[in-house]
Structure 1
Amino acid sequence: MNEFKEITLVCDDSFDGIMTAVYDGWVLMLKGNKVKIYPGDDYAYELFCENINCKTNVKKAISVAQAIQQKISVEAYEYVFRAAHHYDKNRGNAILEFLKVGFRAGSRTTKMLSENRVMTVMELARKVSNEANVFREILRFKEINGKFLFGTISPKCDVLLLIENHFTCRYPEENWIIYDDIRKKALVHRYKSETIVVSGEELDRVIDQIDIDDDYEELWKVFFDAIAIEERRNEKCQMRHVPKWYRKHMNEFN
């Protein structure tokens, strides 16, 4: 008689990591086990639950991604992709539950708005998309020594990959870096080349050495103050459109 277990797969805090956990988790579920997914390295181990460290495997991640697109829909894959970049520690479980519905219901999954497991992932995806849209609009670049553009963001969600295409298309002939100082990684684009994601100690050393003095920053602040009409100042309205936590790297508010 098989002994069914309650298993938590602790995976890398990335899209590939979560997709790998889905792959391994599905195999375990087919054997009758109850599976949960936890992305990140801060998991608090539970009693009476087997905990397995799930090493990221790109081939497995691609296999799951292709299965979602082929057996459910491209739209469903896009929801899963965005939801995986939310900061919610329960997003791995939410995605797994969504896929349980999806692989059974097929292409009609994203129309099942009364199904909580579907709506949970769609809501996570919506929040990630909204934050990505904000940073497309408010990101401020600084010119570093006349050689490249440098911008810093501090997003709640992991939005780098969601804003990459926008800035690659907008500044194809510039050298630029967009640095996420929460996750310590960056988008790096070279003149008329591909944009890549960089992280690790080498990136940290580069960021520490960057001279961020920029005359244009002071000019922008002066311009912002000059066009402001004191009688029309509305702090509440401004706060609704640009909350304080977005302003950390906006020159006009510093």
Structure 2
Amino acid sequence: MNVYIYDKTFDGLLTAVFDAYFRKTFPDFLLSEGDALPLFYDELHTVVTDEEKAARVWRGLQKKVSSSALGCLTQCWLSELPDIGIVIFRYIRKAIDAPRSIETNFGDPDVLLLAQIWKKVDGERMHLMQFVRFQKAADGTFFAAFEPQYNALPLTVQHFKDRFADQKWIIYDMKRRYGFYYDLQEVTTISFDDDSREAHLITGMLDESLMDENEKIFQKLWKTYFKAICIKERMNPRKHRKDMPVRYWKYLTEKQK
């Protein structure tokens, strides 16, 4: 039984693939530093992330599977599921060793599992685009926060950049404490901590003193509209929770009291 230790990055995972073929020993467990080791194992190898090795593996994969399959791998990685590293590792190994593409071989448990994970992460991507509610600050910047189940925020950046190309905005993942800021020119990654001057944004809602003078009016109008279109006789709480996951309600304007 072989154990590989890596840094939990995608480049680190690809480097682990390179090392496995170079060493001709393949891991049964792919762990990060500090994870509990199995009680018994034959070999322990620490992977040192190398961008060139990772790039070589990626170029090799490009010859074995389609671009959509490669996109599936990176999107599944964003699920951050506990065993996603070893599942993707096994998929890559099978893709490299197979004489033809494995991406539609859903009889393979790893191919099927990754397809299911991709669907979940993509669903979260769609939810982010549907349920993000921007608040306009006094300086004209639009701010939105949420706590997605999966790390799907990077998958939405291009959408927001295209959709709101003429507006400065910040979209922030409260769960992972990072976000993206668009300044009308480029998108940059940002992070707020408790000691920063932007610490008030950690709550996910703008303080009224920082809002644009018309923001409170528009929020009130939106809440009024939301209540007005609600037909009591047709209310279906179960379907409502299914269509609009409860984890988003905290940051939805129409759900604020």
- Aligned partner of 1:43 in structure 2 is 35
Confirm whether residue 208 of structure 1 aligns to residue 199 of structure 2: yes
Q: CA RMSD in A?
A: 2.5
CA distance in 1, matches of 2:122, 2:189: 19
Structure 1 residue runs of 5 or longer lacking an equivalent are none
Please give the TM-score of this superposition, normalised by the length of structure 2: 0.83
Structure with the higher fraction of residues in helix conformation = 1
* Residue identity matched to 2:4: T
| Post-superposition offset of 1:38 | 3.3
* 1:1-254 paired onto structure 2 within 5 Å: 6-12=2-8, 17-35=9-27, 36-38=29-31, 43-49=35-41, 54=47, 56-105=49-98, 108-191=101-184, 193-199=185-191, 201=193, 205-210=196-201, 211-213=206-208, 214-215=215-216, 216-254=218-256
Paired residues of 1:19 and 1:65 also in contact (CA < 8 A): no
CA distance in 1, matches of 2:111, 2:3: 23
Q: Give me the identity figure in percent.
A: 21
Residue deviations 1:143-200 (CA, integer Å, cap 9, x gap): 1114200000101111111111110110111110110011111011111x12222236
Residue deviations 1:100-148 (CA, integer Å, cap 9, x gap): 1111236521121111121122211111111111111111111111420
CA distance in 1, matches of 2:44, 2:225: 56
* Residue identity matched to 1:249: Y
CA distance in 1, matches of 2:242, 2:101: 36
CA distance in 2, matches of 1:159, 1:66: 25
Please give the TM-score of this superposition, normalised by the length of structure 1: 0.84
Paired residues of 2:145 and 2:171 also in contact (CA < 8 A): yes
Paired residues of 1:45 and 1:51 also in contact (CA < 8 A): no
Structure 2 residue runs of 5 or longer lacking an equivalent are 209-214
Range moving further from structure 2, 48-57 or 234-243: 48-57
